[in-house]
Structures are given as C-alpha cells and as structure tokens.
Amino acid sequence: MAAPGTDAPPTTRRLDYLEERWQGRSPERQRRLGAVIPLDGVEVLRGDQRLINFSGNDYLGLARDPRLITAVQAATERWGCGATGSRLVVGSLPEHLALEQELAAFCNREAALLFNSGYQANVSILPTLLDRHCRVYVDRLAHRSLLAGVQASEARWQRYPHNDYDRLEALLRQAPADSRRWIVSETVFSMDGDRADLERLTALARRYDAGLYLDDAHAFGILGPEGSGLATRNPEVDVVVGTFGKACGGFGAFVAGSQRLIDTLINFCPGFIYTTALPPGVVAGLRAAIALLPRLEAERQHLHGLAERLREGLQRLGYDSRSSASAIVPALVGTDARALALAAHLEAHGCLGIPIRPPTVPEGTARLRLTLSAAMQGHHLDQLLTALETWDG
C-alpha cells in the first residue's frame, strides 16, 4: 500500500517562497511530529518502546483519572461532542457558566471567563487591554503567547532581563508620567521551572501603579493554597490566566479578575467572542478537576518530593538545573548535539526526556526539560537517575 499522501495531486508553486524561511534553519533543528501512545498515567509507547514519560505536563495524573473520565463521558452523552456555537450565540451551556462560577470562587475573585486555550487567551486578552498609552514590560523568558499578545497590541513594550526586578524598576521609573504601565510575567517559567517573586512584583505594581498580568499555567493545580496557583488568589494581581492543559489534565484556559475586567473581555475580546465554545465534555471534566484540587494535597506533596529528589540527583551529577522550584526540572547540556545525545541515552534506558533546543530556549542552553507527575513512583525516578548517571557525554 502506498504511504499516505503519495497519490496526492501535484501542488501549485505558489508557496515556493517559503523555501527562504528554511535557509536560516539547519536540518538538525527541523521540528518533526512523532506519535506517542499513552499507556497509563506514567508510561508511553513510542515506536515499539515503552518509555517512562518525563516530558508531559499532567502533573497530578488527572488526564487519566476515572472521576474526570466519567464526567466527560456523561456530559458528552447528554449534550453532545461540541458546543455548536460561540459563547455569545448558543455555546454557553449551564456547564460553562457553572465552571466559571466555580473558578471565580476557587480563585477568590469576582469573576472568571473560559478561553479555548492558554495561547488563545494571552494572544487575545493582552491586545484587548493594552492601548497606545500603555508601556508594557515583559519578562525575557515569558511564554511566547504573552509576547505575541503584547506585540499584537498598540502598546509600546520592552523586555526586562529574566526576574531582574531592579532593571524592571528602572524601566518603570523611566516611563513617561502620562503613560499607563503594565508588567507581564509568568509565575512559574515553563522552560526553567523557576518562579517569579510575587512579593516584589506586587510591590512594584503598587509603587508605580502598574497593571499586573500574570500567567499561572505551571503553578495552577500544584502550587499555592489548595493548588490554586501562585497568583489566582492574590488581589493585587489585576489579571491572572490559568490553563487546564497542565495540572488539570484537560484542555482550555481561564482568566480571573474583577467583574469589570470579565465584562470587558466578553464585550471586546475577539479571541473570546469569535470562536466556538469549549465542548461540554471538556468543561464537565474540568469541573470535576477543580472540585478535586483542594483534596489533592498528598499528591502535591508526593510530586514536590519527586522534583526535589530529581534536582538533588542532577546537582550531584553536576548538571545546571537553573533555579527550578516546580515540577519542571531542566538539565542544561549546552549544545544541540549534547541534548540529542542525552535524550537518546535516556531513551535507551526507558526514559522519555524531550530535548528543548534554540530557538525555543536561548543559544547555548539546549536542555532536557524533565517534568514529573504525582502518578510516578520512586522507582520511576530511580530509573531516570540511573540513566543520567551512566551517561558519559
């Protein structure tokens, strides 16, 4: 049988200009898709090899939780596979409104609003809030969606060196007196696994009357009181975004804040208005996840214990793990070739650690970005540490 696509009709030449794009990218940096088959909450099948998954974001193992699966199935059977419309037309089922109320209560905020993904939230909320009078300061390591949102706005913006609050303060001080200042950051940084200093950020926001927009994607569910994240319950954070694709084991995102903020987004944010609502099953699964979060303290402790053991192990072996303080633990190796070699070595020892290379991370900081899950046992981590120990690269 022919491979898929080989019988496809010839294409036009109209996209040939894209070849230029490829000239700047070396062949070994070409990104490719490969199928991964989840076996349980811990192992995956890649090719014909079983691997312990140290690259996922399912920090609490909720993606496979029977309670979530039952909720997804029941809602799908009752209301169908899709929401059939955008939120402002016919896509707001009682499930959506209930989840938003539950999120607002969980985050101790006036209101919350669902978005279809974290990327879509950031890339569309920021241009809605920022106008040409705004001066925006963005952490250099902030997620691509935050940068894209700021770039798409009419605001003047600039990046500050990662977590360098002295520099941030200097920029805030220099901003013209009649400008509106904004600070944009993550709480847990997705590639280094380190944290922003919320005390300092809120103090700066207060002192310079700056809006504070924080993305809590990698903290929501696993850090903070009841797993509520590092920023969702902090009233000094004006806008907080959380995502459901990480610790909630699902899909989608939300923003929480004042009722006026949420009403403004419902009325003026194109990324909320002009898109189909999340499927009812997805929303029901998320409601189950949010209801569970306060009761998952033991799972969070177990997860943080695993992360601490991995950091200690990496330090003992001489790896730079940056200032990891989350379930994301990078092992920096420098060059692309070393990152690929280490990933291959781990794979030979039954562990999946995806190499992250420039341009996703700065030149010279290629790494394995290792992540942990509460579904793992100590022996899974032992296997990874043994594999790391036996690498002679």
The one among 59, 79, 106, 119 contacting ligand PLP by CB under 6 A = 119
Taking the complex as a whole, the smallest distance from the CB of residue 164 to ligand PLP amounts, in Å, to 19
Taking the complex as a whole, the smallest distance from the CB of residue 272 to ligand PLP amounts, in Å, to 14
Q: Is 365 one of the binding residues for ligand PLP (CB under 6 A)?
A: no
Of residues 221 through 260, those in contact with ligand PLP by CB under 6 A are: 243, 245, 253
Identity of the residue, 253 or 381, whose beta carbon is nearer to ligand PLP in the bound complex = 253
User: How far are the Cα atoms of 76, 312, 370, 374 from residue 385, in angstroms, in the given order?
Assistant: 41, 10, 12, 17
Q: Is 139 one of the binding residues for ligand PLP (CB under 6 A)?
A: no
Contacts with ligand PLP by CB under 6 A: the residue count is 14
Taking the complex as a whole, the smallest distance from the CB of residue 188 to ligand PLP amounts, in Å, to 8
Q: Is 126 one of the binding residues for ligand PLP (CB under 6 A)?
A: no
The residue number whose beta carbon is nearest to ligand PLP equals 118
Identity of the residue, 245 or 305, whose beta carbon is nearer to ligand PLP in the bound complex = 245
Of residues 372 through 391, those in contact with ligand PLP by CB under 6 A are: none
Identity of the residue, 117 or 365, whose beta carbon is nearer to ligand PLP in the bound complex = 117
Identity of the residue, 125 or 387, whose beta carbon is nearer to ligand PLP in the bound complex = 125
Span between the terminal Cα atoms of the chain, in Å: 42
Active-site residue list: 57, 143, 186, 190, 215, 218, 246
Taking the complex as a whole, the smallest distance from the CB of residue 8 to ligand PLP amounts, in Å, to 30
Identity of the residue, 122 or 234, whose beta carbon is nearer to ligand PLP in the bound complex = 122
Quick one: which of 212, 201, 217, 220 has its CA closest to 239?
A: 212
Q: Is 58 one of the binding residues for ligand PLP (CB under 6 A)?
A: no
Of residues 8 through 27, those in contact with ligand PLP by CB under 6 A are: none
Two structure tokens written together for 340: 């690929």
Starting at the edge strand found earlier in the chain, the sheet holding 49-53 runs: 37-38, 43-46, 49-53, 351-352
Q: Taking the CA of residue 227 as centre, how many other CA atoms within 13 Å lie in the half-sphere pointing to its CB?
A: 26
Identity of the residue, 123 or 387, whose beta carbon is nearer to ligand PLP in the bound complex = 123
Stretch that binds ligand PLP, among 26-34, 202-210, 215-223, 297-305 (CB under 6 A): 215-223
Stretch that binds ligand PLP, among 213-221, 299-307, 322-330, 341-349 (CB under 6 A): 213-221
Identity of the residue, 215 or 313, whose beta carbon is nearer to ligand PLP in the bound complex = 215
- Going residue by residue from 89 to 118, which x/- string records binding to ligand PLP, judged by CB under 6 A? ----------------------------xx
Taking the complex as a whole, the smallest distance from the CB of residue 195 to ligand PLP amounts, in Å, to 12
Of residues 265 through 284, those in contact with ligand PLP by CB under 6 A are: none
Q: What is the 3-state secondary structure (H, E, C) of the chain?
A: CCCCCCCCCCCCCCCHHHHHHHHCCCHHHCCCCCCCEECCCCEEEECCEEEEECCCCCCCCHHHCHHHHHHHHHHHHHHCCCCCCEHHHHHCCHHHHHHHHHHHHHCCCCEEEEECCHHHHHHHHHHHHCCCCEEEEEECCCCHHHHHHHHCCCCEEEEECCCCHHHHHHHHHHCCCCCEEEEEEECECCCCCCECCHHHHHHHHHHCCCEEEEECCCCCCCCCHHHCCCCCCCCCCCEEEEECCCCCCCCCEEEEECHHHHHHHHHHCHHHHCCECCCHHHHHHHHHHHHHHHHCHHHHHHHHHHHHHHHHHHHHCCCECCCCCCCEEEEEEECHHHHHHHHHHHHHCCEECCEECCCCCCCCCEEEEEECCCCCCHHHHHHHHHHHHCCCC
Of residues 182 through 211, those in contact with ligand PLP by CB under 6 A are: 186, 190
The one among 58, 192, 215, 299 contacting ligand PLP by CB under 6 A = 215
Binding site for ligand PLP (CB under 6 A): 117-119, 122, 143, 145, 186, 190, 215, 217-218, 243, 245, 253
